[in-house]
């Protein structure tokens, strides 16, 4: 960023303080001190200290590795456990995550949804959101990514870096983590071409996510400025700035936001959810909930979209696989074969007994199945809150930096917080007289 703005520098801690004050000034309702919106803002801001502690702890670990590497033989593999500050950051995020989970599960009981407009005018809100996006994107586009001659695959770990998660689409392993001022760790050094492509992908994903939030406000909340407010708050939160360069955070979130946006078209929504499942696997726990939402109308179109997307992602592995054995290894990785394994744990579970994950895994499965039956009549509002709750519950037992992947549920949580009453937006009504494809649906509307 200093290449664009002379002597520009903003410390991550300072950014947390300033963005927190800005969030309160723009969105906090001082006239309704104990409103639910205010409590949601408090929960969102409580995430920042945990993320910041994790970032500072990782930097301390990297410094230890750098100093040790200077005196250790070059062929010795260094294994440095997480710093105590980093572990406390994960513990903080876990505690806040419990509060957020309770809030999301209680949302279906909250019928009254008064419209609480931001304290800033609509024009000022749009300008602020655009300015934040330009600054965040410029910070990523000008970031430096170290180069390397080789490539790494899942299971390998660069010295001092985090293990590469095996529960993801193998094509994501080719993309580095773009460093920010908070998180300087890059996991995968990359060639200049790959680094540039990754930066573009990250910026485009964030742009698509922001546009999706605005369009949800316009089409489903009947208030475009509500969508602008949600998008601006997303860009304003400290977490977004700290992990803006992580494609494995933003890509699944973008796909899920657009699946919600296109929920009136079950095949398209299923295709987007299928791509999300193939990307990081864990949205597979959303399938019972979404099938239940479409059960009365559209379930077969939805499942066909999911299956077609997964098949396309499997076929995409053929060009990057040299042997049939490698191809099937990539397929097993994409479909989450090692999702239950604690091998290569990095974060909270690297310092705690992995067996404690077993009841958490069982509870997350029970939650995913239970939300398919409750509430019996599902609308768009319950789809938002319950989807966010399931993705949050998964992180309690995820061994690769679990609880740090806030973006998997953050956009859905923001939409849940800002949404109006959506009881009338159920699949049996909104999908009425709609065909399998957009063109057919439009033709039926014109004929009517």
CB distance 332 to 155 below 8 Å: no
Owner of token pair 């949800």 = 216
Owner of token pair 């509870």 = 363
Report the predicted TM-score, pTM, of the whole model to 2 decimal places.
0.90
The pLDDT score that the predictor gives to residue 97 is 97
DSSP collapsed to 3 states, 143-154: CCCCCCCCCCCC
**Average pLDDT for 395-424:** 93
Judged against a pLDDT cut of 50, whether residue 446 lies above it is answered with no
The pLDDT score that the predictor gives to residue 71 is 66
pLDDT in tens, 190-212: 678 888 898 999 999 999 999 99
The pLDDT score that the predictor gives to residue 60 is 80
Q: In whole angstroms, what is the distance from residue 124 CA to residue 20 CA?
A: 18
The pLDDT score that the predictor gives to residue 20 is 94
pLDDT in tens, 135-174: 999 989 888 777 643 444 444 444 444 455 556 777 787 7
Residue 347 — pLDDT band, cuts 50, 70, 90?
Answer: confident
Q: What value, to the nearest 5°, has the Cα angle with vertex 205 and ends 9 and 107?
A: 100
The pLDDT score that the predictor gives to residue 166 is 56
Grouping H, G, I as helix, E, B as strand and the rest as coil, residue 376 is coil
The torsion angles phi and psi of 400, rounded to 5 degrees, stand at: -95, 90
User: Which residues are within 8 A (CB) of 146 and not within 5 positions of it... i.e. 6 or more apart?
Assistant: 186, 189, 190
Instruction: Tell me which residue of 31, 227, 34 sits closest to 129, measured CA to CA.
Output: 227
pLDDT in tens, 334-346: 887 777 777 777 8
Judged against a pLDDT cut of 70, whether residue 219 lies above it is answered with yes
Q: In whole angstroms, what is the distance from residue 227 CA to residue 215 CA?
A: 7
Q: In whole angstroms, what is the distance from residue 45 CA to residue 297 CA?
A: 39
Which contacts of 67-75 are long-range, i.e. CB under 8 A and separated by 24 or more positions?
Answer: 69/159, 69/160
DSSP 166: S
Q: What value, to the nearest 5°, has the Cα angle with vertex 219 and ends 254 and 445?
A: 115
CB distance 65 to 162 below 8 Å: no
Q: In whole angstroms, what is the distance from residue 128 CA to residue 179 CA?
A: 24
pLDDT in tens, 59-95: 887 777 677 766 656 555 555 667 788 899 999 999 9
CA torsion 292-297-299-304 (nearest 10°) is -160
Q: In whole angstroms, what is the distance from residue 141 CA to residue 73 CA?
A: 36
Express as a percent the part of the chain with pLDDT over 70: 84
Domain spans, the chain: 12-146+154-447
The torsion angles phi and psi of 346, rounded to 5 degrees, stand at: -135, 120
Judged against a pLDDT cut of 70, whether residue 408 lies above it is answered with yes
Owner of token pair 């922001």 = 210
The pLDDT score that the predictor gives to residue 272 is 97
The pLDDT score that the predictor gives to residue 182 is 76
The pLDDT score that the predictor gives to residue 160 is 44
User: Which residues are within 8 A (CB) of 130 and not within 5 positions of it... i.e. 6 or more apart?
Assistant: none
């Amino acid at each position: 960023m200093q290449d664009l703005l002379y002597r520009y520098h903003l410390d991550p801690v300072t950014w947390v303080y300033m963005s927190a004050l800005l969030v309160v000034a723009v969105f906090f309702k001082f006239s309704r001190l104990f409103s639910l919106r205010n409590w949601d803002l408090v929960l969102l801001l409580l995430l920042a200290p945990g993320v910041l502690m994790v970032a500072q702890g990782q930097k301390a670990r990297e410094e230890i590795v750098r100093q040790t590497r200077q005196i250790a033989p070059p062929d010795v593999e260094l294994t440095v456990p997480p710093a105590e500050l980093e572990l406390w950051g994960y513990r903080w995020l876990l505690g806040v995550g419990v509060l957020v989970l309770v809030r999301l599960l209680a949302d279906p009981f909250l019928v009254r949804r008064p419209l609480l407009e931001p304290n800033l005018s609509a024009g000022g809100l749009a300008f602020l959101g655009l300015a934040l996006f330009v600054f965040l994107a410029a910070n990523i586009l000008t970031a430096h990514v170290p180069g390397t001659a080789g490539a790494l695959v899942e299971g390998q770990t660069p010295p001092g870096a985090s293990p590469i998660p095996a529960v993801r689409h193998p094509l994501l392993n080719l993309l580095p983590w773009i460093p920010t001022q908070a998180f300087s760790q890059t996991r995968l050094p990359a060639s200049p071409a790959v680094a540039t492509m990754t930066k573009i992908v990250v910026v485009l994903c964030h742009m698509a996510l922001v546009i999706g939030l605005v369009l949800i406000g316009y089409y489903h909340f009947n208030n475009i400025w509500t969508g602008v407010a949600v998008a601006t708050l997303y860009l304003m939160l400290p977490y977004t700035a700290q992990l803006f360069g992580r494609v494995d955070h933003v890509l699944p979130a973008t796909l899920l936001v657009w699946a919600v946006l296109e929920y009136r078209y079950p095949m398209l929504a299923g295709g987007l959810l299928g791509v999300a499942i193939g990307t990081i696997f864990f949205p597979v726990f959303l399938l019972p909930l979404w099938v239940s939402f479409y059960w009365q109308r559209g379930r077969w179109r939805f499942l066909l979209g999911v299956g077609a997307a997964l098949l396309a992602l499997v076929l995409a592995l053929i060009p990057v696989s040299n042997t049939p054995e490698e191809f099937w290894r990539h397929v097993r990785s994409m479909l989450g074969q090692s999702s239950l394994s604690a091998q290569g744990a990095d974060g909270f579970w690297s310092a705690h007994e992995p067996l404690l994950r077993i009841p958490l895994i069982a509870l997350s499965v029970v939650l995913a199945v239970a939300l398919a039956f409750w509430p019996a009549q599902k609308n768009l509002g319950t789809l938002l809150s319950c989807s966010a709750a399931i993705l949050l519950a998964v992180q309690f037992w995820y061994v690769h930096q679990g609880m740090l992947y806030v973006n998997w549920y953050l956009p859905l949580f923001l939409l849940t917080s800002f949404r109006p009453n959506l009881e009338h937006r159920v699949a049996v009504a909104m999908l009425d007289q709609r065909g399998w494809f957009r063109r057919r649906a439009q033709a039926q509307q014109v004929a009517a």
